[in-house]
Amino acid sequence: MILHPVHLSFRNFQVTYLEPGQESEVEAENGSKVRIRATAGPVLGPPWQRPENGYLVISPQGQLTLYYEPHCVYNKDFLEKEHADIVITPVIKQLLPNFTLVSGQEDAVQLAKLLHAKYIT
């Protein structure tokens, strides 16, 4: 697969908060639409805080899907039926004493396998 850069310009862009499982569509000036679906991510901070989201970004005709998870912490059950061509997630762990701040390495490989990704970055 050859990836070609795509430039989409969005007008009247508004911020929409998505709960895990919810989806939104953003329309570009040229009429192309990009779908964004939120996935369940980790709870960072106090336990009453809402979980962070991961995001599936689906290209205009659905020919390419990107998954973005900034901490490489994900809900396997939530993603089992999903697919992504490209996964953007940490590949190096960040550890604090007695706490993994950001997962990576083998977790990133498992995430890519789960989503049948061709690329991970």
Q: What is the pLDDT of residue 109?
A: 92
Domain ranges of the chain: 23-120
- One-letter amino acid at 93 equals K
> Which two structure tokens, joined as six digits, stand for 87?
């996964």
pLDDT of residue 116: 95
Q: What's the DSSP call for residue 52?
A: P
What is the chain's pLDDT, residue by residue, as a tens digit (121 residues)?
Answer: 565 666 566 666 678 889 889 999 888 777 788 899 999 887 777 777 787 899 999 987 778 999 999 888 888 888 999 999 999 999 888 888 887 777 878 899 999 999 999 999 8
Question: Do the beta carbons of residue 87 and residue 104 sit within 8 Å?
Answer: no
Query: What string of DSSP letters covers 25-42?
Result: EEEBTTS-EEEEEEEE--
Residue spans of beta strands (DSSP E) within the chain: 23-27, 33-40, 53-58, 65-68, 86-88, 94-96, 99-102, 119-120
Q: What sign has the CA pseudo-torsion 18, 47, 43, 113?
A: negative
pLDDT, residue 69, reads 92
Q: What pLDDT is attached to residue 57?
A: 93
Q: How many helices (H) and strands (E) does the chain have?
A: 2, 8
